[in-house]
Structure 1
Amino acid sequence: MGQDAPAFRMTYGGYLQLDSLLELQSGPEGYAPAPSNDELHFIVVHQTFELWFKQILRELKEARDIMISERVQEASVPVIVHHLERVSEIFRLLANQWKVMETLTPQDFLAFRDRLGTSSGFESWQMREMEVLLGLENEQRMGGMDPLAHMEKLAGEGKVSPSALADFHATHSLPSLNDALMSWLGRTPIHGSSPDEDDDAEVVLDYVNKHLESMSEHGEAVIKHMISIGHGDEATIRPRIEAGVHGARSFLIGEEGVNRSRAGLLFIESYRDLPLLSWPRKLIDCFVELEESMLLFRTHHARMVERMIGRRMGTGGSSGVDYLDATTKYRIFVDLWAVRTMLVKRDALPNVEHAEFYGFSSS
């Protein structure tokens, strides 16, 4: 006789719990009649979004947990980069997923739209938690909406589970990724100087002032060049150039002195070819890429909805496309975008002091 079959063998369907998963597309309990082909498509697309949101939250929380440490080990930076790169790729995938939704014609959607009731994508608590985790401030939101208060309201109405509310509270109570990033940038060694050194404030101020001088000198060269080729006169060009330098000064130096986080960001972006700064500038690039991928996701969403329902009110009572368009103006990592307007070409910058500090290290 042959050997008995094993009492238990893991199968593809068992590992993925497919029986349970594939039963979740029939709509809420008591939902009748069964979804049409078009409505099934609508449900599958949005459930897929939420599954990916679950993965995004996991990746971002692991990145945050590393970054909120008082000292982020150099070996941990590639790990953070890995998490952020994965999230960016997911958002690129999700942006393209809206194209699948566009296979629904407006009439196809209107045939079952009323069955959605007052449900709205705005009620996606995973998306709201994601925004809080990244660091979107309430005053940046359309109408200054407080997502925590909104979550508590939904939970009080039985529309959000206690576990989802607890997760939201936990995320809200911790520093955001933007907060952690700014703290990390504030510890950037500038000309070899760290925040715990006695003369650090002087070193950083000197660095900032010399960069502003470089901007001014470069601006003078631009003015001269533009006039020489007949692209304007000094009276119109100079105010624009000087406004850029003034804006950079305000960005870097506030009422309380130099903003060290912004100075560190500028230093990394200006001297990104230094070996020690290769992973830090890669990390900065990943945050910019992440926000860019989110903006593309939001933009594709807005255009899909406009194509589907025009400018009519959203199912949840929102302004529909107008609200979605407003979200495309959200910026979380504001400083990472702003610093790009004050960079000057490498050969116009002062040489790095203590350049040996930024070389490759070996044990």
Structure 2
Amino acid sequence: MGTLSCKSVSTEMTSGMYTTLRWPDLVDINAGHVTNQLISLTRHWISMVDNGVRADWTYGTYLQLDELLALQGDDRGVSNDELHFIVVHQTFELWFKQVVRELCEIRDSLGNSEVPEEAIPSCVHGMRRVTEIFRLMESQWSVMETLTPQGFLAFRDDLGTASGFESYQMRELEIILGLTKSMRGTNFDPLDQFRKIAERDPTQTHALNRLTEASQKPSLLDAVMSWVRRTPIMGSRQEDPGDDERIRKYVEAHLFAYSEHSLNQQRSMSESGNMNSEMLDARMESARSQARDFLLPNGKVDRARAGLLFIESYRELPLLTWPRALVDAVVELEESMVKWRHAHARMVERIIGRRVGTGGSSGVDYLDGTAKYRIFTDLWAVRTVLVRPDLRPELENPEFYGFSQGS
């Protein structure tokens, strides 16, 4: 077995702190005989030593509670109501930090040209964590609602023009997700806003730099759609010869099934006599036309949408277990974010009514508009064009997906 030896290793203690022991001093490592776990643990321990980590951490020193608890304005004598307001929003910012970290890792993982199957569960786990964070933050608005309108007005003027608009972490996570100016439906541009903030307050230049960097990278939306575009459909992969023809055949077969399903529904509704037949016919025909436009925009196959359709249609296939979990996790994440935004708007309306926001926004109207944002639109829209399991095109190459149709 190989040896792990150290040159000039010292474990001197100075005021309870390890002062020396450097990773470069570790030599003669035979990687074939030293486990990855040992290497990882050793690096972690030495990293702690190098960074001056105490061996006798307490709860307070580990969390830096003294520093943290000095950041709520006690030095200027804030009221209980204002302290409560500050604590809730600082908590949001701490959660945003975690969300940004999780989203970046998921984006980078899915953005690779080849995504190992074993990477998908980790992405799903990260998305579910972000979802639970937004659910937790949604419940925090209930805590905010213990603030009365008069209680807020007592310190509102002290905020000046400070506004949630200026949460650069919130703007950053929106950019990472893939929210664009056109999706906002307004003239609001986070980069323009933070350029003005940085001009007014140079200490905020770092926020502008972070947003600029995030905007120059592919978004999570880009990564998800790139990943789903490579879905094997009917056993055909994107790089396989004849893939275009096979995918079009699948899409056309699905659209035929969708049309037949739609016509049957139309006849059933018409016979019930509960709807104006002309209005019903027009509505159902429009739905069939929209389904075709979704799957064949400009008459051409959209492979990413076809991939989503295949994953949603054949969810029971073993090979699609984690892909469908990932698609569901993305939708669930966005849903939790929408609910958080909606709860935000209702909390604000309850406390300040329809007043103009502190940053000069339209207040509740603006917040209601944010609850309409949708980033992963195709992941929602594909559910509109699904058909009953018994009407799906017959699965080709079932063995490719770890499934035997006669079993």
TM-score interval for Structure 1 and Structure 2 normalised by the shorter chain: over 0.9
Give, in angstroms, the shift of residue 206 of structure 1: 0.6
Give, in angstroms, the shift of residue 256 of structure 1: 6.5
Of the candidates 67, 77, 82, which is equivalent to residue 20 of structure 1? 67
Q: Secondary structure at the match of 1:143?
A: coil
Tell me the number of residue pairs that the alignment of Structure 1 and Structure 2 aligns: 353
Q: Secondary structure at the match of 2:186?
A: helix
Structure 1 residue 261 corresponds to structure 2 residue 310: no
RMSD: 1.8
* Partner residue, 1:166: 209
5 Å matches for 1:41-56? 41-56=84-99
Of the candidates 156, 159, 163, which is equivalent to residue 113 of structure 1? 156
Greater RCO structure (CA 8 Å; 6+ sep): 1
Give, in angstroms, the shift of residue 139 of structure 1: 1.2
Structure 1 residue 223 corresponds to structure 2 residue 266: yes
Superposed CA offset, 1:294-338 (max 9, x none): 001000000000000000100111110011011011000011111
5 Å matches for 1:333-348? 333-348=376-391
Distance 1:45 1:161 in 2: 22
Of the candidates 123, 127, 144, which is equivalent to residue 84 of structure 1? 127
The one-letter code of the counterpart of 2:164 is G
Say which one has the larger Rg: 2
The one-letter code of the counterpart of 1:41 is H
Give, in angstroms, the shift of residue 96 of structure 1: 0.5
| Percent of residue pairs bearing the same amino acid type | 56
Structure 1 residue 235 corresponds to structure 2 residue 278: yes
Call closer, same or farther: CA 1:118–1:333 in 2, change over 3 Å. same
Superposed CA offset, 1:68-118 (max 9, x none): 100111000000001100000000000000000000110000011000001
Structure 1 residue 186 corresponds to structure 2 residue 233: no
5 Å matches for 1:225-304? 225-232=268-275, 234-255=277-298, 257-304=300-347
Structure 1 residue 204 corresponds to structure 2 residue 251: no
* Partner residue, 1:58: 101
Q: Secondary structure at the match of 2:158?
A: helix
Call closer, same or farther: CA 1:344–1:160 in 2, change over 3 Å. farther
Q: TM-score, normalized by length of structure 1?
A: 0.93
The answer (yes or no) to whether the contact 1:132–1:171 under 8 Å persists in 2 is yes
Structure 1 residue 67 corresponds to structure 2 residue 110: yes
Structure 1 segments (4+ residues) deviating >4 Å: none
The one-letter code of the counterpart of 1:261 is A
Call closer, same or farther: CA 1:164–1:360 in 2, change over 3 Å. farther
Where in structure 1 are there 5+ consecutive unaligned residues? 1-5
Call closer, same or farther: CA 1:219–1:360 in 2, change over 3 Å. closer
Distance 2:156 2:194 in 1: 24
Superposed CA offset, 1:146-193 (max 9, x none): 212222221222265333333222211110000111111111111111
Distance 1:353 1:153 in 2: 57
Q: TM-score, normalized by length of structure 2?
A: 0.84
The one-letter code of the counterpart of 1:10 is W
Where in structure 2 are there 5+ consecutive unaligned residues? 1-14, 17-53
